[in-house]
Amino acid sequence: MNVNQEACEKLYEAYYMRVFSYAMTITGDRHTAEEITQETFFRAFSKLKDFRGESDAFTWLCAIAKHLFIDEKRRQGRAGEMPEDIALQDKAVEQTAVERDDSFRVHMALHAMEEPYREVFELRVFGELSFQQIGRIFNKTENWARVTFHRARAKLKERMA
CA 76 – CA 61 distance, rounded (Å)? 23
Instruction: Classify each residue of 35-72 as buried b or exposed e, where b means 16 or more C-beta atoms within 10 Å of its C-beta.
Output: bbbebbbeebbeeeeeeeeebbebbbbbebbbebbeee
Statement: residue 84 has pLDDT above 50: no
pLDDT tens, position by position, 106-119? 777 777 888 888 88
Statement: residue 150 has pLDDT above 60: yes
With a pLDDT cut of 70, the percent of the chain lying above it is 76
Q: Which domains does the chain have, with CATH numbers?
A: 1-80 (1.10.1740.10), 82-161 (1.10.10.10)
**C-alpha of 106 from chain center:** 14
Contact status, residue 152 vs residue 118, Cβ threshold 8 Å? yes
What's the Cα-to-Cα distance from 60 to each of 10, 51, 66, rounded to whole Å? 15, 9, 10
* Residue among 69, 48, 68, 70 at smallest CA distance from 57: 48
Q: Mean pLDDT over all residues of the chain?
A: 77
14 confidence band (pLDDT: 50, 70, 90): confident
Statement: residue 80 has pLDDT above 80: no
CA 22 – CA 132 distance, rounded (Å)? 15
* Least reliable range by pLDDT among 27-36, 82-91, 106-115: 82-91
